[in-house]
Amino acid sequence: MAKHGGFPSGGIPGNMSNLMKQAQRMQRQMEEGQKELETKEFTAAAGGGAVEVTVSGKKEILNVTLSREVVDPEDIEMLQDLIVAASNEALRKADEAGSQLMGKMTGGLGGGLPF
């Protein structure tokens, strides 16, 4: 006879064991996907291509390319705005790739998974 609050076999019931295995498998897949995402690069341009910024999947700026035409000592503010715009767009692309990865991994389970 089973003790109160325990399982008759003394172990984890089959469904719970399967759920734990699935969660571990999903976590491994997400870790692999995250590593792959971190190796990718995302590039965006602003000012008709006058400023180009490349970021990594880790959201680190890797490169900034400026065309000579955009470097005007009389209009530093425009150059700053273009760098910010290109950086934000490249980071948005990286975020979007991360969101797509999460969507694939969770299969539409709804967000909020703790891992």
User: What confidence tens digit (pLDDT) does each residue in 5-48 have?
Assistant: 555 555 566 788 888 888 898 888 888 888 888 999 999 999 99
pTM metric for this prediction: 0.69
Mean pLDDT of the chain: 85
Q: How far apart are CA 3 and CA 47, in angstroms?
A: 72
At residue 54, φ and ψ (nearest 5 deg) are -120, 130
First to last CA, the chain: 38
